[in-house]
Amino acid sequence: MVLIALVWSSMMSLGGVAAETVMLYPNIFGDAPASLERAREFMVAGGPSDYFPPLGASVVLTGIVAVLLTMRDPRVRWWVLAAAAVFIGCEFVFSALYFWPRNEIMFVDALGTHSPEYLRQVAQEFVAGHRVRLAGGAVAAALAFTALLRHVTTRPADVPAEVPPGVRR
């Protein structure tokens, strides 16, 4: 059950990042600094910062629980551990180190604090770094899905397959 939760939450995160890439990024970063100012005005009621932290926390939590619950299962443990590590590395650590400071510059600091050239540079860096986050989310989701598939399609060697009544081996 925890593997299903891990796959679901990691796929939701990947889908959110992909949708953000296609729908929001062209509008937010397309014409910095003017587009950054419009984004500030538009995302008053809610934005990515309201969606991704709770979702990311659910992926991290289910990843940790899945790692703990699958440590004794050699068929899936390394897939689950890799999925959790990639997600934590690409979505949390990389975001904290790379994106959070740029978010401050573009969306928190008072308007006029930074030059238009600097804001354009930071917006380009943000979009370039976003590819790492998108790729990491895809890899983490694929690893989690692989773990789930291995869990449901393989059996330990010491458990015989059930044969339906009337079928010969």
Residue 115 forms part of a structural domain: yes
For position 126, what pLDDT does the model report? Answer: 94
Residue 167 forms part of a structural domain: no
Residue 16 forms part of a structural domain: yes
Residue 104 forms part of a structural domain: yes
pLDDT band at 161 (very low <50, low <70, confident <90, very high): low
Residue 161 forms part of a structural domain: no
Least confident of 5-9, 40-44, 60-64: 40-44
Boundaries of domain holding 106: 2-153
Residue 129 forms part of a structural domain: yes
For position 89, what pLDDT does the model report? Answer: 95
Q: Please tell me the total count of domains within the chain.
A: 1
DSSP calls for 100-116: HHHHIIIIISPTTSS-H
Residue 89 forms part of a structural domain: yes
pLDDT at 157 over 70: no
For position 45, what pLDDT does the model report? Answer: 86
pLDDT at 24 over 80: yes
Name residues whose C-beta falls within 8 Å of residue 118's C-beta, 6 or more positions apart in sequence: 105
- Calculate what percentage of the chain has a pLDDT beyond 70: 92
Residue 21 forms part of a structural domain: yes
Q: How far apart are CA 30 and CA 36, in angstroms?
A: 9
The pTM (predicted TM-score) of the whole model is 0.83
Q: At what angle do helices 116-153 and 77-87 cross, to 10 degrees?
A: 170
